[in-house]
Amino acid sequence: MRSASNDDIIEVEDLSVRYPSRDEYSIKDLSFNIKKGEFVWLSGDSASGKSTLMNCLCGFIPQIIPAEVEGNIRLNGRSELNTLELAREISMVHQDPETQFCTEIVEDEIAFGLENRRLSRRKIDKRVKTTLEDLNCSELRHRELHTLSGGEKQKIAIASMLVLNPKVLILDEPTANLDPVSMDEVLQAIENVSRKSEELTIILAEHRIGGLEDQVDRVLRLEGGRLKKIIDDFYRSPSKVKKRLADYSYPDYERNVKRRKKPILRIDGLNYRVGGNHILKDIDLEIEQNEIIALMGRNGCGKTTLIKHIAGLSEIQEGTIRIFGKDMTPSNKIPPWELGKQLGYVFQNPNHQIFENTVESEMLFGPKNFGKGVKKGEDRLRKFMKEGLDKGTHPHNLSFGQKRRLNTYSSSLHDPSLIIVDEPFSGQDHKNALMIADILDEFWRRGKILIIVTHELDFAKRFCTRAVVMKEGKMAYDGDPGRLEGIT
């Protein structure tokens, strides 16, 4: 807990927002105040209106993102500020830090905003140095951004905003795409900032807040675009209240798998290098029918590189991948569209896998391209529309969880025998995570093989039949998910 002021820094009065493409309001009749120095947890499921509210507070809506806005927002008693005026008071760190990077080197990125404000070089150097020290990442100062891990990128994104000395710092799901170790590092960095800067108001939108429960002063929970609950003095709340808000456990799924000793996928001696970096090292792996593989390990350990090789999206430099009775080698390539007839692949970022302009055409994208599963896709589309969606809606206007389910269906409705899903639960609330788990369970019960890249230890133990853990490009563990404790 920090010493919050009695003065309000943000006042929201009867705020409602509706996007041009929608009939329903994304947020409706929100009224609340936030005091100077408060640490506020903005809670709520996907599509509850959190992102819309944050974009309003920053002035992105309606000044950059078109929307119909009713009500009023005051910052330090002033309303109708333009984005430039708001930018001097409020800084926002987006869920994907790469979307806000403007340079290539860490210190250049942190200095970028200060240079635009025309500070002297001496002041810029001092602020960059101090901010890196506050976040315990001074060693990253001269690194290239593309070489950083996910957690390191998130910390630098936070640093690039903190260096501007904002009055309000908004953090949009900063741990959504991180492994457990990186998540702890980012949460620790946020805690350090919270303890050091008691005058800084922090608004954290996150499904899981780790060890920050005792730092949070107040909880604002949104449901269906409305302010459902306000919890004052959250740090004093009973542990059962905190657990109920942050519950992320999975049920036990029934699994009875008989090994058939007939691998569908076999990898022998797979190596992959980029420049002088050895990304994959001597990978040997066999996967059989009916298996559910949890592919785990820290950000940057080679998981995504491995599944891209399996899907034919990365060329083999050394080794062999035998899949569906065919060999892929450095000299024998199989085009990904050929593999795609029997293999479904769901990307980590749903936005990277949207190809059409409507939900309907996106849902049927895979089936129509492969000439298989169109009727099944139309049936699934009708069920999807029961969530109150319009089939003519642009996919980019869906919530993150809806996008994830949409491209999961689009990639699998043509009935592939192997389905690869990269981080299906990143950025998902508990409700959506359970819905996605049920979709994957349905695939497995229909006889599909699943390879699921995940950081979710509880999910791996309760859902998967086998775990493969990678470390620095090598396989560090291959076995029972129930024995994963302390390995990942």
- Please write the tens of the pLDDT for every residue from 90-100: 999 988 888 89
- Give me the phi and psi of 44, to 5 degrees please: 150, 155
Is the pLDDT reported for residue 134 higher than 80? yes
Given this model, what pLDDT does residue 24 score? 85
Given this model, what pLDDT does residue 247 score? 67
The separation between the first and the last C-alpha atoms of the chain, rounded to the nearest angstrom, is 31
Q: What is the mean pLDDT of residues 33-47?
A: 91
Is the pLDDT reported for residue 1 higher than 60? no
**Average pLDDT taken over every residue of the chain:** 89
HSE-CB for 17 with a 13 A CA cutoff: 30
Question: What CA–CA distance (Å, rounded) separates 1 from 3?
Answer: 7
**Could you tell me which residues come within 8 angstroms of residue 91 by beta carbon, excluding any fewer than 6 positions away?**
161, 162, 164, 166, 168, 169, 170
Q: What is the mean pLDDT of residues 117-134?
A: 94
Higher pLDDT: 74 or 298? It is: 74
Q: What is the mean pLDDT of residues 220-244?
A: 87
Assign 488 a pLDDT band (cuts: 50, 70, 90): low
Given this model, what pLDDT does residue 190 score? 85
Alpha helices (H) in 38-105, listed in sequence order: 50-58, 60-63, 83-87
Question: What CA–CA distance (Å, rounded) separates 249 from 151?
Answer: 23
Given this model, what pLDDT does residue 188 score? 83
**Could you tell me which residues come within 8 angstroms of residue 244 by beta carbon, excluding any fewer than 6 positions away?**
none
Kind of pairing between the strands at 90-93 and 418-422:
unpaired
What is the value of pTM for the model shown? Answer: 0.79
Is the pLDDT reported for residue 295 higher than 80? yes
pLDDT tens digits for range 417-454 = 999 999 898 877 888 888 899 999 999 999 999 999 99
Given this model, what pLDDT does residue 4 score? 59
366, two tokens: 């895979």
Given this model, what pLDDT does residue 411 score? 92
Is the pLDDT reported for residue 110 higher than 80? yes
**Could you tell me which residues come within 8 angstroms of residue 60 by beta carbon, excluding any fewer than 6 positions away?**
83
Given this model, what pLDDT does residue 57 score? 95
Higher pLDDT: 265 or 85? It is: 265
Concatenated DSSP letters for 461-480? HHH-SEEEEEETTEEEEEE-
Given this model, what pLDDT does residue 10 score? 96
Alpha helices (H) in 172-274, listed in sequence order: 180-196, 239-245
Residues 185, 155 contacting (CB under 8 angstroms): yes
Given this model, what pLDDT does residue 383 score? 87
Is the pLDDT reported for residue 260 higher than 70? no
Given this model, what pLDDT does residue 482 score? 87
Higher pLDDT: 60 or 249? It is: 60
Given this model, what pLDDT does residue 81 score? 85
Q: What is the mean pLDDT of residues 7-30?
A: 91
Assign 373 a pLDDT band (cuts: 50, 70, 90): very high
Nearest to 180 by CA among 404, 418, 426: 426
Is the pLDDT reported for residue 3 higher than 60? no
The sign of the dihedral angle between the CA atoms of 371, 374, 380, 382 is positive
Q: What is the mean pLDDT of residues 263-281?
A: 91
